């Protein structure tokens, strides 16, 4: 039986600091970051359609269709777009959250093992040390699918940021999905609670699981990176984790702006403390308290 492909998977909600973590992990010589692999199906579906959305830029600066890394991958991955699972509609997400282990939301557009195996082969062409792929898709649905794939060995990272910061950031985003300002508070709150609950349930008893509180990570990333290092043997710079991210050449699917302008220091974003109206702040603080205690303050 061929060796399993090792994947470091970052799970959590949007706006939880996954991009930064992905960049730090991807700067280790033994790890190669792919960004948010969950957008691969959409990209392949739109390939050739002359839709040059910024999202379909690779972080190497080229359009994905012109990037040598992704060209290599695409040649090796059979693709047959299945629209039924392209969007995780609200109903399927709710069903998934209630029964994460049973509900079947499968990726039928391509084979995950085939994609990862093509990616690792393509990555090794420029760096033979690569042993791990980093996938920062965040989605619990994708996490469930790849955990069930026996040809993959998953090292899941459960990344949780203070929910009030996530809500504030989502409600202020320019993303159309979140632009209806008034209704967003409740939606963002539920999204935070249920996404994290389903990840927590999926990873219960998982021996490879690493939990990261974003707030604690910003204060001192060392103990968290040390845990990842001892579990995976990837060479992370514990004292200065940002040192190599500027010099790492990456081919990420999601053209997140911070990847084009890497940060020089790790800073906590606590704008919610003065931007979130007091009533919403109070409500979120109350509802989220038990979860914060468990996932963010790590008591
Ligand atoms: Zn590229």
Mean pLDDT of 69-98: 74
Higher pLDDT, 175 or 195: 195
CA of 34 to the centre of ligand 1 (A): 10
| 101 — pLDDT class (breaks 50, 70, 90) | low
CA of 54 to the centre of ligand 1 (A): 13
Q: Considering only CA atoms, which of 203, 159, 147 is closest in space to residue 4? A: 147
CA of 259 to the centre of ligand 1 (A): 12
CA of 295 to the centre of ligand 1 (A): 35
CA of 247 to the centre of ligand 1 (A): 15
CA of 30 to the centre of ligand 1 (A): 18
pLDDT at 86 over 70: no
Mean pLDDT of 27-32: 94
CA of 87 to the centre of ligand 1 (A): 25
Q: How many CA atoms lie within 13 A of 9 on its CB side?
A: 30
pLDDT at 75 over 70: yes
Q: Write down the pLDDT at residue 248.
A: 75
Domain assignment present for residue 169? The answer is no
CA of 141 to the centre of ligand 1 (A): 26
CA of 5 to the centre of ligand 1 (A): 21
Domain assignment present for residue 280? The answer is no
Q: Write down the pLDDT at residue 105.
A: 66
pLDDT winner (highest mean) among 50-59, 134-143, 156-165, 237-246:
156-165
CA of 62 to the centre of ligand 1 (A): 6
Domain assignment present for residue 284? The answer is no
Number of folded domains that form the chain: 1
Higher pLDDT, 19 or 254: 19
CA of 158 to the centre of ligand 1 (A): 27
Q: Is 50 left (phi over 0), alpha (psi -120 to 50) or beta?
A: left
Q: β-strand 152-160 against 31-35: which pairing, if any? A: unpaired
Domain assignment present for residue 86? The answer is yes
Q: Write down the pLDDT at residue 174.
A: 63
Mean pLDDT of 50-70: 74
The mean of the pLDDT values for the chain is 85
**Could you give the CA distance from residue 198 to residue 190 in angstroms, rounded to a whole number?**
12
Higher pLDDT, 170 or 249: 170
CA of 211 to the centre of ligand 1 (A): 30
Per-residue DSSP letters for the chain?
-PPPEEEEEEES-TTSSHHHHHHHHHTSTTEEEEE-GGGHHHHHHHTTTT---GGGB-TTSSBGGG-HHHHHHHHHS-----GGGTS--HHHHHHHHHSTTT------SS-HHHHHHHHHHHHHHH-TT--EEEEEEE-HHHHHHHHT-TTEEEEEEEEE--HHHHHHHHHT---GGG--HHHHHHHHHHHHHHHHHHHHHHHTT-TT-EEEEHHHHHH--HHHHHHHHHHH-----SS-TTTTTTT-----SS--HHHHS--SS-----THHHHS-HHHHHHHHHHHHHHIIIIIS--
CA of 153 to the centre of ligand 1 (A): 25
CA of 249 to the centre of ligand 1 (A): 9
Domain assignment present for residue 278? The answer is no
Q: pTM of this prediction? A: 0.91
On whether the CB atoms of residues 21 and 10 are closer than 8 A, the answer is yes
pLDDT at 55 over 70: no
pLDDT in tens, 159-194: 999 999 999 988 877 666 655 555 688 889 999 999
CA of 253 to the centre of ligand 1 (A): 8
Residue span of the structural domain in which 96 resides? 5-163+209-269
CA of 111 to the centre of ligand 1 (A): 21
Q: Please, what is the Cα angle at 23 between 75 and 130, to 5 degrees?
A: 50
Please state, as a whole number, how many other Cβ atoms lie within 10 Å of the Cβ of residue 84: 11
Domain assignment present for residue 264? The answer is yes
Q: Write down the pLDDT at residue 100.
A: 66
Nearest-Å Rg of the Cα atoms of the chain is: 19
CA of 43 to the centre of ligand 1 (A): 14
Domain assignment present for residue 193? The answer is no
| 62 — pLDDT class (breaks 50, 70, 90) | confident
Domain assignment present for residue 98? The answer is yes
Question: For the sheet containing 5-11, what is the strand order?
Answer: 31-35, 132-138, 5-11, 152-160, 210-213
CA of 28 to the centre of ligand 1 (A): 18
CA of 190 to the centre of ligand 1 (A): 35
Q: Considering only CA atoms, which of 6, 53, 75, 12 is closest in space to residue 34? A: 6
CA of 96 to the centre of ligand 1 (A): 33
**Could you give the CA distance from residue 166 to residue 269 in angstroms, rounded to a whole number?**
10
């Amino acid at each position: 039986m061929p060796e399993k492909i090792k994947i470091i998977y970052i799970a959590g909600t949007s706006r939880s600091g996954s991009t930064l973590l992905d960049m730090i992990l991807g700067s280790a010589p033994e790890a190669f970051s792919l960004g948010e692999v969950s957008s691969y199906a959409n990209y392949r579906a739109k390939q050739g359609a002359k839709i040059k959305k910024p999202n379909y830029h690779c972080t190497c600066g080229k359009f994905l269709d012109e990037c040598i890394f992704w060209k290599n991958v695409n040649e090796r991955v059979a693709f047959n777009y299945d629209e039924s699972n392209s969007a995780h509609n609200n109903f399927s997400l709710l069903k998934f959250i209630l029964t994460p282990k049973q509900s079947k939301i499968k990726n039928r557009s391509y084979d995950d093992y085939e994609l990862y195996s093509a990616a690792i082969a393509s990555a090794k062409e420029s760096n033979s040390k690569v042993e791990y792929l980093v996938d920062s898709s965040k989605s619990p649905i994708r996490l469930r699918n790849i955990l069930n794939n026996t040809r993959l060995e998953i090292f899941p990272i459960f990344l949780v940021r203070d929910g009030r910061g996530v809500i504030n950031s989502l409600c202020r985003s320019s993303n159309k999905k979140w632009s209806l300002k008034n209704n967003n508070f409740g939606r963002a709150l539920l999204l935070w609670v249920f996404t994290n609950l389903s990840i927590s349930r999926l990873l219960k008893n998982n021996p490879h699981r690493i939990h990261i509180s974003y707030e604690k990570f910003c204060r001192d990333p060392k103990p968290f990176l040390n845990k990842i290092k001892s579990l995976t043997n990837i060479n992370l710079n514990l004292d200065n984790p940002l040192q190599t991210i500027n010099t790492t050449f990456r081919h990420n699917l999601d053209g997140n702006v911070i990847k084009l302008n890497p940060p020089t220091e790790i800073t906590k974003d606590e704008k919610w403390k003065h931007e979130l109206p007091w009533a919403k702040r109070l409500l979120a603080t109350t509802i989220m308290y038990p979860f914060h205690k468990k996932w963010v303050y790590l008591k």
